[in-house]
Structure formats: C-alpha cells, structure tokens
Amino acid sequence: MAGRLEGKVAAITGAASGFGAGAAKRFVEEGAKVVMGDIQDDAGQALADELGDAAVYVHCDVTKEDEVANMVDTAVEKFGQLDIMYNNAGVVGAVGPIATTPAEEWHRTMDIHVSGCFYGCKHAARVMIPRGTGSIVSMSSTAGIMGGLGPHAYTAAKHAIVGITKSVAAELAQYGIRANCISPAGMATAMVAATMGDHTDLETTRQNLAQTSPLKGRPGLPEDVVNAALFLASDESGYTSGLTLTTDAGLTIGSGNESPFGEYQPFMAEAGKRGV
C-alpha cells in the first residue's frame, strides 16, 4: 500500500529532536523524502543517517535567512521539488514577569519563532508557486490561542505564527498552496520535561501530564502532534487552509480546570496559569 506522503518532498526545521525528529521518521515511513534542518548537527546527522537515502541533514539556524533558503534549495537540488515545509524549530525562550523580561531574550525568542517561520514560508513559497502546489505547516501552541498558557515572548511569538499562517494562506490559495498551523498543549517531550523543575525524565513528565490532562488520564504525546502534522502535510487535508489545529484535549475551549503544569513549572506562576 502506498504511503500517505508517497512521492512528496518535505523540509523540516528543528528536526534533530522532539516533534521535528518524530515527523522526519514518520514522513519517511509514509513515503516522503525529507530535508532535515537544525542547529544540533550531531543529533540531526545521526537521525538522517538512520533514515537512509530518503533523508538529508543540513545545518539550518532558522534565524538566518540564507540558511533557511539553503535548506529549501537543498530539497529541490537533491529531491527535485518541495511539497511540504514544516516550520517546527522553537525554544521556550525568555521567561519571567513582564516587568523584568530582558529585551535581548525577548528579541531572540521572537527571532527564532517568528522570523524563522517567516523565512520558511517565504522560501517555500518561492519554489512552490511555480509548481502550483504545496503545504506549509507551522508550529504554534495553545499559547498562540490564549494568554496565561506560557511565557510572554513565547505567547506573543506563537500568536504571530497563527497570524502568519492566516495571512500566507490567504495569499497563496490562488497558487494552490495551503498553509496551516498546529497548536499543541504541553506534550510529553524533552522541551516540556526540561521546564518541569525537579526532573527531566519523560516518564515522570507523562505521569504528571496524565494527572492534569483535561482528557481523563491521557497525557499529550509527541505522536499526537506528528499525526496532526502528517494530516496537514498530506493530500488528506487538501481543502483545508488557514486552520489552527489544536492538539490540546480541549484545553483552549475550556475543558479541564486544572493546570497541566501547576507546581511543576514555576515560571508559569508569573507569566500565566496553565501551560506552554
């Protein structure tokens, strides 16, 4: 049986870890060729080697336009085209109360998320428009939908990604190109484990998230986000554009009334109430 991405070529930023690495593996399993970009070169190259001829790793710092452009050009040179651009790279970034958030950290956080997503959309459009097809998927967050779910700069940046997605979707529809974004709640990944204070192991993170999940006993898992990315990347979502697809068990529509992080994420006490 043909894979769900058979014959397609994808570029994924932040592909050395977390959702990006999960998507690289799954996209290849589903028949895609993948260009993986990240700043963690050893981890990115190791995963690309594991995935074989269907994957290529390139160093790509998303704050540098020429490196994002190079990633897109690598997809075209190596695999002939670009069908899917997955703007996934991200960091938690600046944390703490607004009155003391350092401007330098604010700008760095915005640069990684917002400029990175802009460069990805821009250079994907450059090669997708002449072919008249393509799917751009970007990573927002529940903090891109509501305040109080993450640090200030992160919240602002993730709202901006929802905005870029809608704006780009509106322009590129005339060329047959779709743009959508994904808004996960705090999922059990290394990024979330690292913000949870007294531990970094994933099993404890899963247990903590399961206890506080709006969906009884069910933590958010990386594969929930990878499944959403696969759907938006594939032709199965062929009539869907401009969407913010939540993977949050209904958190942002009011399900659950407990903090998914609570005591485990001290900086949320200043920046917000319930999440990443």
Ligand X SMILES: NC(=O)c1ccc[n+]([C@@H]2O[C@H](COP(=O)([O-])OP(=O)(O)OC[C@H]3O[C@@H](n4cnc5c(N)ncnc54)[C@H](O)[C@@H]3O)[C@@H](O)[C@H]2O)c1
Whole-number Å distance between alpha carbons of 37 and 28: 15
Whole-number Å distance between alpha carbons of 135 and 62: 19
175 tagged catalytic: no
33 tagged catalytic: no
70 forms part of the interface with ligand X (CB under 6 A): no
124 forms part of the interface with ligand X (CB under 6 A): no
Catalytic residue among 154, 213, 241, 264: 154
Whole-number Å distance between alpha carbons of 105 and 209: 28
Catalytic residue among 158, 183, 234, 241: 158
214 forms part of the interface with ligand X (CB under 6 A): no
Q: Which helix (H) or strand (E) covers residue 268, if one does?
A: helix 268-271
Residues that contact ligand X, how many (by CB under 6 A): 29
90 forms part of the interface with ligand X (CB under 6 A): yes
Q: DSSP assignment, residue 115? A: I
Strand order in 244-247's β-sheet?
A: 55-59, 33-38, 9-13, 84-87, 134-139, 177-184, 244-247
Q: Which lies closer to ligand X via its Cβ, residue 32 or residue 276? A: 276
20 forms part of the interface with ligand X (CB under 6 A): yes
Q: How far is the CB of 158 from ligand X (least distance, A)?
A: 7
One character per residue 169-198, x = contact with ligand X (rule: CB under 6 A): ---------------x-xx-xxxx------
Q: Which lies closer to ligand X via its Cβ, residue 129 or residue 215? A: 215
Helix (H, G, I), strand (E, B) or coil at 13: strand
Q: Residue 164 in contact with residue 138, Cβ under 8 Å? A: yes
The single residue listed with the structure tokens 């589903």 is 30
13 forms part of the interface with ligand X (CB under 6 A): yes
Q: Find, among 196, 179, 178, the residue nearest to 187 by Cα.
A: 196
244 forms part of the interface with ligand X (CB under 6 A): no
18 forms part of the interface with ligand X (CB under 6 A): yes
The pair phi, psi for residue 130, each rounded to 5°, is -60, -25
Q: Which residues are catalytic?
A: 141, 154, 158
Q: By the criterion CB under 6 A, which residues form the site for ligand X?
A: 13-14, 16-20, 38-40, 60-63, 88-91, 112, 139, 141, 184, 186-187, 189-192, 276
